[in-house]
Chains A and B, each alone.
Chain A
Amino acid sequence: MTNWQEDIVLDCSGLNCPLPVLKTKKIMDGLDSGQVLKMISTDPGSVNDVAAWAKRTGNELLETVADAGEYTHFLKKRH
């Protein structure tokens, strides 16, 4: 795991589809380009969903770390 320096943390633990993606979108809208969001989810579906959301919106998914039922996504706001 790379040590990404996040600018903001969003905890979506316990939330299910589609809330992690919807909350991620809302937070990312408020970030400046290049800033990094660390989003924590307990939804295994978030692994594919966050990647799909990033691909569609042009934001960069730096890394997803899965550890003991917790999925941590690092997203970089697009330019």
Chain B
Amino acid sequence: MVETAGKKKRMALIASKGTLDWAYPPFILASTGAAMEMEVGVFFTFYGLTLLKKEISPKVSPHSNPAMPMKMPFGPDGFQQIEWPIPNILTGNMPGFETVATSLMKQTFQKKGVATIEELRDICIESDVRLIGCQMTMDVFGFSKDDFIDEVDIGGAATFLEFAAEADIQMFI
């Protein structure tokens, strides 16, 4: 860095949600922050912790996201522009709806050239983003350290706050 030579900017994020849509912001910001030569740490807590499992399969639920545009990623342009007015009673109760919505969102992302969560996570690991897994969440949900990727640094609130205390950017996601 030119103007701030010597000291790297530091970014501290908290990832608290584990659905497909909410998995993106922490991994996009963390990988981009590292690419901008910042020192990045992410504290994965509550449902966010599942994003550090060896196998991840985040899903998205339209039921809890009423503003989500319901569009199809295939077919003619006019068809793809249609916003399907699907009532909440269906999105919440129809078996398999979440699976279909997840598959449609993944297709849309792929078609638009957006990286997968796995790719972004790999880039974070390659670029030395510190991934802190919440010990308390592990205990509460019955996970063991073996469920998670090797790069996870296990800790609690104090571990995160010690890192965040010197951060220039902090965000709760």
Contacts of A18 in B (CB 8 A): 28, 31-32, 35, 115, 120
B36 vs chain A, min Cβ distance (A): 4
- Chain A residues, CB < 8 A from B112: 16
* Nearest residue, chain A, Cβ from B109: A16
B113 A16 Cβ-Cβ under 8 A: yes
Chain B positions within 8 Å of A58 at CB level:
1-2
Chain A residues bordering chain B, tally (CB within 8 A): 17
A7 to B37, CA, bound (A): 23
The answer to whether the Cβ of B167 comes within 8 Å of any Cβ in the partner chain is: no
Q: Which of B32, B35, B36, B112 has the most CB of A within 10 A?
A: B35
A40 within 8 A of B: no
Assess whether B123 is interfacial by the CB under 8 Å rule.
yes
Give the contacting residue for A22; candidates B1, B32, B37, B113; CB below 8 A: B32
The majority secondary structure among interface residues of chain B is: loop
B120: A residues at CB distance < 8 A:
18
In the complex, A36→B28 CA distance in Å?
Answer: 26
Write out the residue numbers on chain A whose beta carbons fall within 8 Å of the beta carbon of B35: 18, 21-22, 24-25, 53
Contact in complex: B115, A19 (CB < 8 Å):
yes
B171 CB–A CB distance under 8 Å: no
Q: Is A15 an interface residue (CB 8 A)?
A: yes
Known: A14-B113, A56-B1, A57-B1. A22 touches B36 (CB 8 A): no
- Determine the interface band of chain B, counting residues with CB < 8 A from chain A: 10 to 19
The residues of B that contact A24 with a CB separation of less than 8 Å are 35
CB <8 Å contact, B28 and A15: no
- Encoded as 1 (CB less than 8 Å from any B CB) or 0, chain A from 1 to 38 comes to 00000000000001111110110110000000000000
Q: B114: CB under 8 A from chain A?
A: yes
Nearest residue (CB) in B for A15 is: B113
Chain A residues with CB under 8 A of B31: 18, 22
Q: Which residues of B contact A57 (CB under 8 A)?
A: 1, 36-37
Q: Which residues on B sit within 8 Å (CB–CB) of A21?
A: 32, 35
Instruction: Taking A18-B115, A52-B36, A58-B2 as given, write out 17 further A-B residue pairs in contact, using a Cβ cutoff of 8 Å, ordered by the A residue number.
Output: A14-B113, A16-B113, A17-B28, A19-B113, A19-B114, A19-B115, A21-B32, A22-B31, A22-B32, A22-B35, A25-B35, A25-B36, A53-B36, A56-B37, A57-B1, A57-B36, A57-B37
